[in-house]
């Protein structure tokens, strides 16, 4: 088979009949393409992917690194430093070390290095995002080799026959071959929000606009109702979406709330630095005149550099990136960076039941024609098992019971799933509930493929969340099936409609019932018996479906409500989707962490209650709110209800939007799960929209902040824990970095008042501390494992300041302590060095003491409450490595002559080095004593409260 249409040809497919389109593309509407032909066409047409356009170029990414206000300030410091050296050179004052413009070159080098590191980080981030996008690559159902297969959307080729249904985002352009109540939202292309009703047989003129091409579907649009078979006519950049892709401009990533706070912090720090420069220079000139302007400029430049935490933006970015990577390893794919922070503040998790709280492997437990009930054996999707009367050991031969046979026939034919054996294992393609119905039919030797040939589908009314049922019309194609099913088919009525759905809704449309091989009028007592049986089954946590049939002499009307009247009740089928075993522990962790789990399901309220109580989401006697009750509530009533209701049953997807809005109006931070098209509004509205990676539709994934790669509730809880750890670590290294900076500034500011001989730290040395001495331990603190109480405390307010909960006071307090230690050392070292060799060694001693004190601070700050001796040092080996490496590098600056000359340090004797180590260790001791003090303080306060 070879294609007759080359990639360069673009026939007006919407003007052609379906058979002509199939012929031109060399395909077959019944079998699709062969695997070999598909491979050949992929080589000819390429992958079905849109080329990335509108993103930033490499040069733009690089230039953006130098727009950071703190780097701009460093550039200004470098320029001023260079100007001062030019003045010195013109005055005949050569540098003492013989290296001109050392500070300027070093500062500009660090600025360039910072820019390059940022460029590498962003480039890797973009590649990582592309890789994560591939993880969530959509799957499509196609006909290949005469069988239904699931393939990656990128592997579609022209000529493929693609199967689409409600909830699917269409992956290629195509000509409709069949359409059953197919409605597609084409806002991505036309801008029109309403769904378009598609018709496979429509004949259209050549000038039909894109929105009027009713027999075509297009890549990127959404199926909101019905199903259809599509002949793929264009893929990749040849689709209508591909034609406009090159016109799209790249959209910059939304900054996270934390990034916005950091940007504001940067502006405050830079403003503060400029204010300090002005105060020092202006105040010094007014006090001492212009004769000491040079000294004032040097002091102010050093203070300006000390104020700014140059390494902080890079550490923030790396921390968020590491957080997303850890979440991926725990099966949570973060689509939007703000989710990393917001997850740590979630107060309510609203979860679907099926597949998220349960295993999503439905297995029919029993079937219930009105005359009697039968239990079913077997496991999984293997169509092998037997039927037993309750309490009996002899199996029932299924075909000998006409009502049971009719009920199982409805299970198989009123069904859109497929049961296939692949590589020795039975698998379901489609909805697990429908798959379970195919399996129970297979146990009675009623298989879908042969039945479809004998009783082909001629019409259908698809399932929707509003109707909560679906119906199909089948026809006796051979004229012989009425002999096997005389109660449903006859020569006068060769068609039958089967209906399945919510038992209450199906039952209210039935006026007769099938008992054994007879059809009788349905009495009110029988109706109550069926409803009571349904409630008992649902109360045991079983999912229950009702089935009905209606013999037809002619095709029913298009109005589904009229067509589904006057049916014959066939019976109930119940199935079990067992809870995931790990969810119970996850729910318990939620409650311990101050997070309220809420179940939202379309299932019966008794089923929902049974599962919720089993998992610990609800307790006996807790209120259950149904969709009908929710409909009757106004906004204020619902807002009052959401604080107490933990189970919502029989709800439609649009109800989720009202629930999440009500929670947010009550000040809750809500996470909401969803997998369907209609879940998208609620996912977008929620603070964290969570889509299902396995069962979720493409539309729900696009609307979400996070995708569960395993559809597991426990993964949500793990992601919340990671979010809390990320935010805790960010606060930890911020107080480490800024506390150190405050100490540096105070030390520099005090030096002209206490000693003579200039400032103890040059701009180059301060940059070394801010980028290396601060930066390496800060990066190590970013991977500090979770503290034991991270999931034993309530969530923090996401709107709180970064300095909330005492962090700001801690930084000021530690900065003052560090300054006192450094100033004390400075005064002693200055007096000591004046009479012992090199009189400038006091500056190196101050420099070394500040650096080593920060190492002690880094070791002590790992925990806010536990002493360092109580921590396992090897739970964060990166911190030990960072402290050891940074300390070694600091010693190299003192004892390696070329580095000593470049950084302007002086040789220290062993005694002087020991003095520096002694003074710097006081920082570690202070932080440990602080923790011990606060521990005793809070312990005594708790004891007083208890005694009262």
Active site residues: 352
Give the sign of the dihedral formed by CA 163, CA 168, CA 169, CA 175.
positive
Cα–Cα distance for residue pair 825/835, rounded to 1 Å: 16
Cα–Cα distance for residue pair 219/188, rounded to 1 Å: 9
**Backbone phi, psi, residue 99, to 5°:** -110, 105
Q: Which residues contact 332 (CB under 8 A, 6 or more apart)?
A: 706, 707, 708, 709, 715, 716, 718, 719, 722
How far, in whole angstroms, is CA 336 from its chain's centroid? 7
Burial zone of 208 (CB within 10 Å; 0-12 exposed, 13-18 middle, 19+ buried): middle
Local structure of residue 51 (DSSP, 8 states): P
Q: Which candidate, 123, 162, 125, 132, places its Cα nearest to that of 33? A: 162
Return the CA Rg of the chain. 36
Contact by Cβ (8 Å): 649, 601: yes
Contact by Cβ (8 Å): 287, 299: no
Cα–Cα distance for residue pair 198/190, rounded to 1 Å: 15
To which H or E segment does residue 366 belong?
strand 363-368
Torsion of CA 219, 223, 227, 233, to 10 degrees: -10
Torsion of CA 361, 367, 373, 378, to 10 degrees: -50
How far, in whole angstroms, is CA 56 from its chain's centroid? 24
Q: Both tokens of residue 352?
A: 């679907």
519 has which bridge partners?
A: 514
Cα–Cα distance for residue pair 503/537, rounded to 1 Å: 11
DSSP 72-132: HHHHHHHHHHHHHHHHHHHTT---TTS-TTHHHHHHHHHHHHHHHHHHHHHHHHHHHHHHH
Q: Both tokens of residue 822?
A: 């450094």
């Amino acid at each position: 088979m070879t294609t007759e249409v080359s990639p360069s040809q673009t026939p007006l497919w919407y003007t052609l009949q379906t058979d002509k389109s199939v012929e031109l593309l060399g395909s077959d509407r019944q079998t699709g393409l062969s695997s070999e032909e598909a491979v050949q066409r992929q080589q000819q047409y390429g992958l079905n992917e849109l080329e990335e356009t509108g993103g930033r170029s490499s040069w733009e990414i690089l230039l953006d690194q130098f727009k950071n206000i703190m780097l701009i300030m460093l550039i200004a410091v470098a320029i001023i430093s260079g100007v001062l050296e030019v003045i010195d050179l013109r005055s005949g004052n050569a540098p003492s070390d013989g290296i001109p413009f050392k500070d300027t070159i070093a500062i500009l080098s660090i600025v360039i290095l910072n820019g390059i590191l940022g460029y590498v980080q962003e480039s890797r981030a973009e590649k990582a995002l592309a890789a994560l996008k591939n993880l969530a690559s959509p799957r499509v159902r196609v006909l290949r080799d005469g069988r239904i297969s699931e393939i990656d959307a990128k592997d579609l080729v022209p000529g493929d026959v693609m199967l689409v249904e409600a909830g699917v985002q269409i992956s290629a352009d195509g000509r409709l071959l069949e359409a059953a109540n197919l409605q597609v939202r084409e806002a991505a292309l036309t801008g029109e929000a309403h769904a378009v009703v598609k018709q496979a047989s429509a004949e259209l003129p050549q000038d039909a606009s894109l929105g009027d091409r009713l027999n075509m579907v297009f890549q990127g649009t959404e199926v909101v109702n019905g199903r259809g078979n599509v002949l793929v006519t264009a893929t990749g950049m040849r689709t209508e979406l591909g034609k406009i892709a090159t016109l799209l401009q790249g959209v910059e990533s939304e900054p996270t709330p934390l990034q916005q706070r950091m940007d504001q912090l940067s502006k405050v720090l830079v403003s503060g630095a400029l204010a300090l420069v002005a105060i020092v220079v202006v105040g010094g000139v007014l006090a001492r005149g212009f004769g000491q302007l040079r000294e004032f400029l040097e002091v102010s430049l050093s203070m300006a550099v000390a104020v700014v935490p140059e390494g902080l933006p890079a550490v923030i970015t790396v921390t968020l990136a590491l957080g997303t990577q850890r979440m991926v390893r725990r099966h949570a794919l973060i689509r939007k960076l703000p989710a990393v922070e917001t997850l740590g503040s979630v107060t309510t998790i609203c979860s679907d039941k099926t597949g998220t709280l349960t295993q999503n492997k439905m297995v029919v437990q029993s079937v219930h024609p009105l005359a009697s009930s039968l239990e079913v054996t077997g496991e999984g999707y293997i169509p092998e098992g037997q039927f037993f009367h309750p309490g009996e050991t002899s199996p029932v031969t299924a075909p000998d019971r006409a009502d049971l046979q009719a009920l199982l026939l409805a299970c198989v034919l009123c069904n859109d799933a497929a049961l296939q054996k692949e590589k020795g294992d039975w698998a379901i393609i489609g909805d697990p509930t429908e798959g379970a119905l195919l399996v129970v039919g297979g146990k009675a030797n009623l298989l879908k493929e042969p039945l479809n040939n004998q009783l082909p589908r001629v019409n259908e009314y698809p399932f929707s969340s509003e109707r909560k049922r679906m119906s199909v019309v089948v026809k006796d194609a051979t004229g012989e099936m009425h002999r096997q099913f005389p109660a449903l088919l006859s020569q006068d009525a060769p068609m039958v409609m089967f209906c399945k759905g919510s038992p209450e809704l199906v039952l209210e449309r039935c006026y007769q019932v099938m008992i054994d091989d007879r059809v009788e009028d349905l009495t009110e007592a029988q109706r109550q018996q069926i409803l009571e049986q349904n409630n008992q089954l649902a109360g045991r946590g079983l999912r229950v479906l009702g089935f009905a049939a209606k013999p037809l002499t002619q095709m029913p009307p298009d109005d589904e409500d009229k067509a589904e009247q006057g049916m014959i009740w066939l019976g109930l089928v119940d199935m079990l989707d067992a809870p995931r075993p790990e969810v119970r522990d996850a729910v318990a962790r939620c409650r311990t962490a101050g997070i309220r789990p809420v179940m939202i399901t379309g299932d019966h309220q008794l089923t929902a209650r049974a599962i919720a109580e089993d998992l610990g989401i609800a307790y006996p006697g807790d209120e259950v709110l149904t969709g009908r009750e929710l409909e009757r509530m106004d906004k204020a009533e619902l807002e009052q209800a959401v604080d107490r209701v933990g189970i919502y049953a029989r709800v439609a997807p649009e109800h989720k939007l009202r629930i999440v809005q009500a929670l947010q109006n009550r000040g809750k931070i809500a996470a909401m799960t969803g997998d369907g098209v209609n879940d998208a509004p609620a996912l977008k509205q929620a603070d964290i929209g969570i889509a299902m990676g396995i069962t979720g539709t493409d539309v729900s994934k696009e609307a979400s902040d996070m995708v569960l790669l395993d559809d597991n509730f426990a993964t949500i809880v793990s992601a919340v824990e990671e979010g809390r750890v990320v935010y805790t670590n960010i606060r930890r290294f911020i107080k480490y970095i800024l506390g150190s900076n405050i100490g540096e500034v105070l030390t520099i500011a005090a030096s002209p008042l206490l000693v003579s001989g200039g400032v103890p730290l040059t701009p180059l040395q301060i940059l070394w501390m801010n980028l290396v001495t601060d930066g390496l331990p800060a990066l190590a603190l970013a991977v500090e494992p979770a503290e034991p109480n991270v999931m034993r405390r309530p969530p923090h307010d996401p709107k709180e300041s970064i300095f909330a909960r005492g962090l700001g006071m801690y930084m000021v307090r530690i900065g003052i302590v560090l300054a006192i230690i450094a100033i004390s050392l400075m005064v002693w070292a200055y007096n000591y060095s004046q009479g012992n060799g090199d009189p400038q060694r006091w500056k190196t001693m101050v420099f070394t003491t500040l650096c080593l004190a920060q190492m002690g601070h880094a070791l002590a700050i790992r925990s806010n409450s536990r002493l360092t001796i109580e921590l396992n040092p090897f739970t964060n080996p990166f911190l030990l490595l960072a402290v050891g490496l940074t300390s070694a590098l600091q010693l190299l600056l003192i004892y390696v002559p070329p580095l000593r000359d470049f950084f302007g340090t002086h040789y220290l004797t062993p005694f002087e080095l020991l003095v520096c180590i002694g003074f710097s260790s006081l920082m570690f001791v202070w932080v440990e004593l602080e923790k011990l003090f606060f521990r005793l303080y809070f312990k005594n306060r708790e004891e007083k409260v208890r005694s009262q």
